């Protein structure tokens, strides 16, 4: 087995690169991708030379270059707007839903938004009957403050 890998070192580099790509799909920070690029370049270099030292140097050089040159560009374009992306409860503000249980005057009811049911109250304290479309204005813990659309 060892003899086969030594005679076909390009295949070993290729397998290392594929494993790095699989790990990158689970991680997503484009760091392991740089090792995959280095592995693929070393695999190409093994087609031109049998020297393991040269192949390792090609791997190291292309990995380091990828970390400092390719990774920042990839992060810039592929993670654009990630800081401004709303998630969890913040993403519900401004969304529209339907009243499932009548919101009583000065009291509470239930609103369905994207399949989830939320306890809700109206912004002006007025009654909102079942089936009316509403918009979420804010969330106070688990209570949504809504207005008619």
pLDDT at position 17, please? 96
pLDDT over threshold 90, residue 68: yes
Residue 82 pLDDT level (bands cut at 50, 70, 90): low
Question: Do 122 and 102 form a contact (C-beta atoms < 8 A)?
Answer: no
* Alpha-carbon distances of 12 from 32, 33, 40, 87, rounded to whole Å: 17, 17, 10, 42
pLDDT over threshold 70, residue 137: yes
Question: Do 35 and 2 form a contact (C-beta atoms < 8 A)?
Answer: no
pLDDT at position 145, please? 93
| Residue predicted with more confidence, 91 or 96 | 96
Mean pLDDT across the chain, nearest whole number?
89
| Residue predicted with more confidence, 72 or 87 | 72
* Number of C-beta neighbours around residue 33 at 10 A: 22
Percentage with pLDDT > 90 across the chain: 60
Task: Say which residues have a Cβ less than 8 Å from residue 78's Cβ, sequence separation at least 6.
Answer: 30
pLDDT over threshold 70, residue 86: no
* Number of C-beta neighbours around residue 39 at 10 A: 25
pLDDT at position 87, please? 61
- Predicted model pTM: 0.57
């Amino acid at each position: 087995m060892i003899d086969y890998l030594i005679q076909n070192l390009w295949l070993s580099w290729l397998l290392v690169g594929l494993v790095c790509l699989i790990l990158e799909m689970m991680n997503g920070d484009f760091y392991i991708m740089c090792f995959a690029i280095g592995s693929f370049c070393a695999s190409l270099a093994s087609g031109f030379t049998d020297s393991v030292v040269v192949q390792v140097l090609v791997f190291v050089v292309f990995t380091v270059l990828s970390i400092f040159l390719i990774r920042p560009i990839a992060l810039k374009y592929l993670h654009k707007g990630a800081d401004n992306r709303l998630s969890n409860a913040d993403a519900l503000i401004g969304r529209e839903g339907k009243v499932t249980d009548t919101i009583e005057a000065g009291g509470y009811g239930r609103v369905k938004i994207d399949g989830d049911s939320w306890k809700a109250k109206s912004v002006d304290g007025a009654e909102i009957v079942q089936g009316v479309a509403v918009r979420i204005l804010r969330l106070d813990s688990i209570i949504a403050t809504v207005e008619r659309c």
